[in-house]
Amino acid sequence: MSLFTDSLKGGGFGGFQWDEPRLVGVDAAVIPVPYDLTVSYAAGTRNGPRAIIDASSQVELYDAAWDINYEDLNLALPNEVEQVITGPGDMVDRVEEVYRAVYEKAPFILTLGGEHSITTAPVRVLSEKYGDTLTVVQFDAHSDLRDSYQGSPFSHASVMRRVVDLAPITQIGIRNVSKPEMDFIRANGHPVYYSWDVAGKTDWIDGMVDDLKENVYITFDLDGFDPSVVPGVGTPEPGGLYWRETVEAIKRIGEKRNIVGADVMELKPIPGSVVSEFSAARLCFKLLGAALMLGK
């Protein structure tokens, strides 16, 4: 078994056709969104979902550290979400449409990007379902709190400004913040765990989890990791999170809270290297395991 129980078919008619019987009784669906229209530095994150899917077949399915077997999961892979070229706001609407359609049949969805702007779509859906019991936890190098960037309020640099209107947020690994974003953080008062305080440490994790609401959505921009862990991202930033404290944080969230959805964003594959996509694929398993298997 690989991470996915269905083959990637490319964007079908309408962008979200799938073999419906494969969604009957699944534990989770994985939605690939190969989109990077608003990426502002190095383009190529549209190739991220395919690279993660390819790498997933190389991940060992028994997780010795957590003593869980991912082969016990029943997973499905719907088609890629076809790009909308009329603008990033319309693309977010499109992803939301697809997400709603899949969520009617799959109790948990892991979204693969692509650029971070599309996180707004699943949070819209889940904030309706969970209301004021939902927290969005963001792993990221950048706060992504600009009200707009390069003329768009739906830029990848503005995604959390859109999300914070839907649910409270907790930010982890942040180390690149503009002055207006810092002003917003101070005014909004949400928890921010800067990488210079938490990278390489685990003593902050329990307090972070205790402050979360009952239901949690995890959005993971891979540049939250230090480039030594995942170099293949569109906007790399030195001084980031390492693997140990990151997966420990995910584990404790899964043990103490209900993870209701997740995404992994901004992988930009590096030709000739598989380090980044393999790490991203393993992270996908960790997210699925924390959400669906730990203590279940």
Domain ranges of the chain: 13-292
Can you give the pLDDT at residue 79?
Answer: 81
Residue-level pLDDT at 215: 98
- For domain 13-292, give the CATH number: 3.40.800.10
What pLDDT score was predicted for residue 268? 95
Closest-CA residue to 16 (of 111, 97, 122, 104): 97
Given a cut of 70, the residues of the chain with pLDDT beneath it are 1-22, 37-42, 148-154, 156, 296
CA 71 from centroid of its chain's CA atoms: 22
pLDDT of 153 = 65
Integer angstrom CA distances of residue 149 from 120, 157, 172, 179: 15, 6, 22, 14
Closest among 126, 114, 218 to 169, alpha carbons compared: 218
287 vs 101: CA distance, rounded Å: 22
pLDDT recorded at residue 10: 39
Query: 265 in helix, strand or coil?
Result: strand
Give the pLDDT confidence score for residue 78 in this predicted structure: 82
pLDDT at residue 33 in the model: 94
